[in-house]
Amino acid sequence: MNMGNRQKKAAIISLYGNSNYGNKLQNYAVQEILRREGIDSVNIINVPCLNNKNRDISAVLKFYLKGIVQSIIKGDRIKDCVDPNDPKQRKENFLRFNEQIVNSKHFFSFNRLSEFKDYDYYFVGSDQIWNPQYGGLSDLDLLTFTQKKKIAISASFGIEKLPSSCETKVKQYLSTFDAISVREEAAKRIVEENTGRTDVEVLIDPTMMLCPEDWDRVIKKPKDLTNKRYVVCYFLGTLTDEYRTAISQLAEREECTIVDLSNAESPYYCCGPSEFVYLIKNAVYVCTDSFHASVFSILYNRPFVVFNRNGKHNTMGSRIQTLLSTFHLEDARFTGIIDESYICRDYKEVNQIVENERQKALRFIRKALR
């Protein structure tokens, strides 16, 4: 792509904080996608209490005071954006992956807009950047501060229906975006109903826009992994007794150990994003209620089963439903027993759909950059 005499620059606004595999992996993917299009990018760290023009000063003070305390007690710096409750090794693994994300140690402040005015493009996404439950739909997330080119890349609300209190803001600011793509059908419906737009596209997650060979460059084998045959168990919701029984029976039948990424008592809980991708790539089987664990299972053609999420945030089913229906994998849903049909899946059709969707996403991005 001919970018003229000066290399174009983009600012990426996404979820960044804490130790979440999906946040980090999609953030890295967006950066890499833009790099291949000849775009220099910088990631603007999104902190909910800082990213509204009319922010609550007490919340800001509380945020910084808490950061100072954590720095004294545990050595965590505010700008590191790690979960202060995580074990030291988990923090270190996430910080190591952060080094793959260019210029990601910026804090945003509406009092310092001059520092962020020199970008040609502003990209929002991916992941649940517009989820009001996570402090989304802020002035930063909606790019209220700029008249430059505004592009949403596989953005997500993470909910089925927009709260009425958010409708006016969504209509006002998403109507001004130059291009909008979302990650699931529910998000497309929300944008269309609230803005009247007819150009909203549903795209794959940015992590799927990269090939497995691209991800192989950043993976890392966990030091505690000794058994070559294992089942990855990764749940963001509650792991019920029914689920545990089914997974244990699967592991016993396939003569596998269980690599539990969800349990803080597990030696694998400290794995970072690089180890997460390695484990899925080499798993005999993946059991999960996670969107991104499902994504990487598809990318690496691993047998996987998707369980309904229980407990907190159990209403985020649209993105999983869109993912499975897009790739004709609706039968990957857990129905009470994990039988042989899951193991013997033919990924030929799936891989062709992945490539088609990848090209569709690339066309959207290149059109938006023009």
pLDDT digits (tens, 9 = 90+) for 254-309: 999 999 999 999 999 999 999 999 999 999 999 999 999 999 999 999 999 999 99
Query: Which residues are paired to 181 by β-bridges?
Result: 201
Please check whether residue 34 is in contact with residue 8, taking contact to mean a CB–CB distance below 8 angstroms.
no
Q: What's the CA gap between 54 and 42, in Å, rounded?
A: 25
DSSP output for 235-272:
-SS---HHHHHHHHHHHHHTT-EEEESS-TTSTTTT--
Where do the structural domains in the chain lie, given as residue ranges?
9-210+357-369, 214-351
Query: 134-190: per-residue pLDDT in tens?
Result: 777 888 889 988 889 999 999 999 888 999 999 999 999 999 999 999 999 999 999
Give the pLDDT score at 366. Answer: 96
Q: 279 near 220, Cβ under 8 Å?
A: no
Element holding 43 (H helix, E strand) = strand 40-45
pLDDT band at 3 (very low <50, low <70, confident <90, very high): very low
Which region among 9-13, 62-66, 114-118 has the lowest average model confidence (pLDDT)? 114-118
Name the architecture of domain 214-351.
3-Layer(aba) Sandwich (3.40)
Q: Is the pLDDT of residue 337 over 60?
A: yes
Determine the Cα–Cα distance for residues 58 and 37; give it in Å rounded to an integer: 42
| Structure tokens, 241 | 């007794």
Q: How many CB atoms lie within 10 A of CB 176?
A: 13
Crossing angle of the two packed helices 185-195 and 167-174, in degrees rounded to 10: 90
The residue with tokens 């016993």 is: 252
What topology is assigned to 9-210+357-369 in CATH? Rossmann fold (3.40.50)
Alpha carbon 220 to its chain centroid, in Å, reads 19
Tens digit of each residue's pLDDT (9 = 90 or more) over 13-55:
988 767 889 999 999 999 999 999 999 998 887 776 667 777 7
pLDDT value of residue 113: 63
Classify the C-alpha dihedral 325-329-330-333 as positive or negative: negative
pLDDT at 346: 87
C-alpha span between 191 and 171 (Å, rounded): 8
